[in-house]
Structure 1
Amino acid sequence: MCASKEPPKMSCYHGVSKPIYIDEELLQVAVLEQGLQEPAQRIIEAEGIQFNEARRLSLEYRNIQKIDHLWEFTSLTKLNLNNNFIQKMEGLDHLVNLKWLNLSFNNIEKIEGLEGLQKLEVLKLSNNRISLIENMDSLVELTILCLANNLLQHLDNVVYLRQFKKLFTLNIYGNPIPEENSEDKYLLFIAAYFQQLKFLNNIFLNEDIRTRASIKYNLDIEKMNQGELQRQQAAEEQRRQEAELQLHEDAFVEQMNGSHLYNNIFQNDTEADKLHCLPGVDELLEEFEKHIVDLCNQLFEIGLAEHRRRKAEIDLFFRRHKIDVTESQRKASRLLADFEKQQKQRIEELQELSDEKERKSKVDACHSEIKLLCYNLMTVEFQLYSHMEETIKKFDSNISEMTASFSETAQGIFVHCRDLEDSHHKNIQKIANTTLEMVAKGESEDDLPDDVRMLFLDKNTVMDTLAASHDNHLQTINDRETQLVTRAEVWKVALIKRIEDTELTRNRMRIADIHRYADYLRGQLEKLL
């Protein structure tokens, strides 16, 4: 089971003088070679005839040095880049639908760049220079992993793969595992630590192997399972908290529940802290905190409820958008089906004509039909785009009304917060004036700390300190109000712009596809002349 410590064999230039790079031309050739949909079919797809239609892409044995220009292949499910000269795993971020990736026989030294491939099921990295299994946490669907003939040296590092609960085939044959790990230990170690694994290096892990592995590593596995459970629970709690915080941020009311705003109001207010020793101040602070917290909790609940309303409106918009686009596609599909049926007959008739003049007349008629098809397809697209403009305008109005209503409600609650601060400030002023009189008469000197007694020796200093503290408290309330209202407005504007830009892009792509298909049809006719 242990392999020699010689480096694995790498890919070569395959007869080419130097490595090449992935570019637009290379990708176009590769996609065409692998049978992308016919132009007539492509025209009815919502996304047009771009690279994002491709499901599979094979770029093996091309001496590629760098992965690049794949950002449009968002529908790709299978990518083959084996037997090249690739040194770095990169440029894969946008392949969010990829399920199968082969990077074997390259010069890769580090596993990286896989964060976006959450649907990946098969990963082949054999015959590279990888020495550490890492950076694969996002591959939750991984079922097959091939790392044969790399530079892995530690079985303990393989334990990293235990997190992939769907992994059933693992190949790490030909790695320079130290010789003290005998074949039996190697096999039993993996069998013990990977209960869900079915095949290791093409060996079926049968019941006998499982039993021997369990006996040998029982205590180690029990200890590891306990540790993993604790880490899993901690991770789940962290994810729960992060999701909850994200929800609060999306509702613009993060840290509005509880005493957060109250604590922020008095944060770093050292002068106000000195007043806690005065009779009646603690009771005032408790009452102030209670009322502020009640208002904040009220705003928090309203914010979450309004977020649910906005989300429902957004979901409804996108459901309607999908229905409208689908219906438009059906109309275009029917137009194309009728046209292609007649076009096929017209082409057959053209091919049988021998008279040049008659053939020319027939070709002119075909051109007219193509022009009519383009007009009809453009009409369908124009109707959809016009309808979407109205739909987006109505959606904008609804979302703007919701956002404005929530902002207005929030501003009303913040007004109450400021009123509470004003009332609290006046009550503190009364206690301060009473204390000033007592200090002036020498009646409370023994009851006050030195720094507070020194503060109350001068009335102007006390009043200035209270005024500054009051202003800071109001500023904190104002800042939180401004933050909420501003973020809500910025979110709304960005949402509408994103929807408008997406729809404009879709419209331009559709129009370009119609022109491209018309050119394709005209090109077919020219070949018959």
Structure 2
Amino acid sequence: MSIIYEDLEPGVIDTVMIMKALENERPTGEAGRLAAEEGIILQEVTSLRLQFLNILKIDHLWMMTSLVELQLGNNIIEKIEGLNSLVNLKELDLSFNSIKVIENLEKLVKLEVLTLFENRISKLENMENLVNLMIFSIGNNQIKSRNDVIYLRQFPCLRSLNMAGNPCVENGDKDFQEYICAFLPKLTYYEYHIISAEERATAEISYRTILKRLEETEEKERQSRMEAEARAKEMAFHAEAFVENLDRDQLFNAMFENDANGKTLLTMGEAAMDVYNKFHDETMKVIHQLFKLGLEQHEIRQEEIRQYFKCVDAAKEENKISSQQYIESFLKRKDEVFLDIHNILQAVDKLADTEETSDKGEYISRLQILFDQFNDERQAAWYKLMAKELTLYEQLEETNGNFGQNINDLVSTFTEEAQSFFAQIRNLEASYNEEMSEVANAYLTNLNITTVPVSPELKQIMVNKESLNGATTQSHDFRLHTIDNRETQLLTRIHEWVKEYCDEITIGETRNSRKKVIEINHFLDIQREESEDLQASSLIAMTSLLPAETVESSGPQTAVPQDTKEEGEDATTTDTEPPESSATEEEGEDTADTVPCESSTESTAAS
């Protein structure tokens, strides 16, 4: 039973409570000081303890997506809620609260340890998604039926269980433990005591007959689930091809499902049924052709998509390798320049006590040349890398345009053929309506000259020719409306898909290009800062070792490189103008290499 602390008001979890709890868990000493300086980032917190706080409601945990362990025991919580965002949670302690129902755990698929000891729960339910559950404590609750033990058979990882203190333990702990051993064969610990092989063998003998029937029932249920999953997977695939519910007679049945008059007319006799069966067979042939077309066209579109990504990925890989090689070459030259600079500084340091100012001045000039050389190479690197990225961006832009045109052409081909099939179905329906009207008129004529038993529904239609024509027209319109709706659904969905898909590709490539530009700028900013720091330290060293007039006259001057865009700027490769000078060439490399692509997408991809 949960304990209420009179000195604390019942409350809701809020940010203040969370931050206070995290601060109390902060380590002491130097580690605590460093942690305080860094601050608390809720998105990165992995463990949280909120115990003995009279918490009534769970809230404000949505931002703690990295949480692995959550302890909320010894409060007055009445409902499990507010945990959907904790997708990485592995341990959840809700013991000693006032919870009545197990619920809202669907998103916690990684949960391994669940403690609900000492609550008011009367049934095990809503835990189907906890496929990784290993330790479950549900003792001291209000579970009355032993069938709840059967519910736990669905958890393949469950190894430790505690159900002590529940009403279902009616015949003594020993008997219930035997029941547990028999029906949970994978369980290793019950009430934190290991289950021996002898206990398990005895339990299986005691419940052999019941176990056999249960296993047979579970096998049938498993087969049903597998069939349902296979059907759901198949339907999802058909939906991707935009021909869902066309593999069987769903569309045909839908034409009569809510058509009371159409169904009633079928009771006129054998002639009406012959017309109906003929309509069914001919319509199903066309529907099957439409379904087959949808699957074939879907595979053609998927192949186009595969070839597109194969081409794009190859181009990006070529660009990546080329850029990496250039960066490695640049860094190698940087190391050589910086080594020369350090060697000069060491030589100047050795000449500090001599009077050879002419030699010192020569070293200063050499330093200046080296710094200027590195700044020039850094600037050339910026132009080179940006030119590579710009070339890739422009060629991918062309590739995306060609792909969009190709995929739209494929969609147009499919929709035109699909519309022709729907037109055939409408023609068949018109013929059916005409033939059924003839049968109905003949039936009405025969009804006027003979006495034939007629159902009240059919009698209402057969009052006269006017009422009969009204009924057949209404049925005709309903069937056409059903066909038109299915055609509109197909056309609308596929056109929405192709637009969203192409837009997503374009937006994704633009985002990737901007990210690459930021990376290039960031990398070269680091190189610039290193150069400036080394140049500043060199100037200090020269100032301390040489006369002031020597440094002022020939000391190294800070080169001002061309500004690059800051990391936070919304930069795109389309804002970058590659240089036309020889700075864009390195050892005879071309700024753009063409990657051949065998896709039907007529494009070239950049390296």
TM-score (norm 1): 0.70
Q: In structure 2, how many angstroms separate the alpha carbons of the residues matched to 1:498 and 1:225?
A: 49
What secondary structure sits across from 1:255 in the alignment? coil
Give the number of the structure whose alpha-carbon radius of gyration is greater.
2
**Which residue of the partner structure matches residue 304 of structure 1?**
295
Gaps of 5+ in 1: 8-15, 24-29, 35-50, 74-78
**Which residue of the partner structure matches residue 589 of structure 2?**
none
Aligned 8 A contact 1:105 1:128 in 2: yes
Deviation at 1:266, TM superposition (A): 2.6
AA aligned to 2:291 is F
Q: In structure 2, how many angstroms separate the alpha carbons of the residues matched to 1:328 and 1:473?
A: 57
**Which residue of the partner structure matches residue 123 of structure 1?**
112
**Which residue of the partner structure matches residue 477 of structure 2?**
471
AA aligned to 2:294 is G
Q: In structure 2, how many angstroms separate the alpha carbons of the residues matched to 1:114 and 1:452?
A: 54
Q: In structure 2, how many angstroms separate the alpha carbons of the residues matched to 1:113 and 1:495?
A: 34
Pair 1:430–1:17, CA change in 2 (3 A): closer
Pair 1:384–1:478, CA change in 2 (3 A): same
Q: In structure 2, how many angstroms separate the alpha carbons of the residues matched to 1:507 and 1:107?
A: 54
Q: How many residues align?
A: 474
Bigger drift between 56-65 and 237-246 goes to 56-65
- Tell whether 2:336 aligns with 1:331: no
Percent of pairs identical after alignment? 24
Q: In structure 2, how many angstroms separate the alpha carbons of the residues matched to 1:522 and 1:150?
A: 65
AA aligned to 2:521 is H
Gaps of 5+ in 2: 4-14, 23-30, 36-40, 52-58, 349-362, 537-607
**Which residue of the partner structure matches residue 462 of structure 1?**
468
What secondary structure sits across from 2:432 in the alignment? helix
What secondary structure sits across from 2:300 in the alignment? helix
Pair 1:516–1:474, CA change in 2 (3 A): same
Aligned 8 A contact 2:116 2:139 in 1: yes
Deviation at 1:279, TM superposition (A): 7.1
**Which residue of the partner structure matches residue 488 of structure 1?**
494
What secondary structure sits across from 1:261 in the alignment? helix
Pair 1:211–1:432, CA change in 2 (3 A): closer
- Tell whether 2:402 aligns with 1:403: no
Q: How does 1:129-208 map to 2 (within 5 A)?
A: 136-140=127-131, 142=132, 145-146=134-135, 160-165=151-156, 167=157, 169-170=159-160, 191-197=181-187, 205=195, 207-208=197-198
User: What per-residue deviation string (whole Å, max 9, x for no partner) do you get for residues 279-317 of structure 1?
Assistant: 732221221122112211222222223223333333343
Pair 1:267–1:220, CA change in 2 (3 A): closer
Q: In structure 2, how many angstroms separate the alpha carbons of the residues matched to 1:17 and 1:446?
A: 84
AA aligned to 2:514 is R
- Tell whether 2:499 aligns with 1:509: no
- Tell whether 2:220 aligns with 1:230: yes
What secondary structure sits across from 2:112 in the alignment? strand
Q: In structure 1, how many angstroms separate the alpha carbons of the residues matched to 2:331 and 2:152?
A: 53
User: What per-residue deviation string (whole Å, max 9, x for no partner) do you get for residues 101-134 of structure 1?
Assistant: 456699997987765676x4x7345699888776
Q: How does 1:388-399 map to 2 (within 5 A)?
A: 388-399=396-407
Deviation at 1:239, TM superposition (A): 1.2
Aligned 8 A contact 1:93 1:115 in 2: no
**Which residue of the partner structure matches residue 40 of structure 1?**
none
TM-score (norm 2): 0.62
Q: How does 1:329-478 map to 2 (within 5 A)?
A: 329-344=320-335, 346=337, 353=345, 365-435=373-443, 442-444=448-450, 446=452, 452=458, 455-456=461-462, 458-478=464-484
Pair 1:374–1:181, CA change in 2 (3 A): farther
What secondary structure sits across from 2:18 in the alignment? coil
- Tell whether 2:253 aligns with 1:269: no
Deviation at 1:426, TM superposition (A): 2.4
Aligned 8 A contact 2:118 2:140 in 1: yes
Pair 1:391–1:198, CA change in 2 (3 A): farther
Q: In structure 1, how many angstroms separate the alpha carbons of the residues matched to 2:339 and 2:102?
A: 56
Superposition RMSD on alpha carbons, in Å? 4.9
AA aligned to 2:495 is E
Deviation at 1:223, TM superposition (A): 4.4
Deviation at 1:451, TM superposition (A): 6.2
Bigger drift between 124-133 and 376-385 goes to 124-133
Q: Which among 518, 522, 527 is matched to residue 524 of structure 2?
A: 518
Aligned 8 A contact 2:283 2:425 in 1: yes
- Tell whether 2:18 aligns with 1:19: yes
**Which residue of the partner structure matches residue 240 of structure 1?**
230
Q: Which among 274, 284, 290 is matched to residue 293 of structure 1?
A: 284
**Which residue of the partner structure matches residue 47 of structure 1?**
none
Deviation at 1:257, TM superposition (A): 3.2
Q: In structure 1, how many angstroms separate the alpha carbons of the residues matched to 2:171 and 2:529?
A: 67
Deviation at 1:373, TM superposition (A): 3.5
AA aligned to 1:312 is E
Q: In structure 2, how many angstroms separate the alpha carbons of the residues matched to 1:370 and 1:449?
A: 94
Pair 1:199–1:457, CA change in 2 (3 A): closer
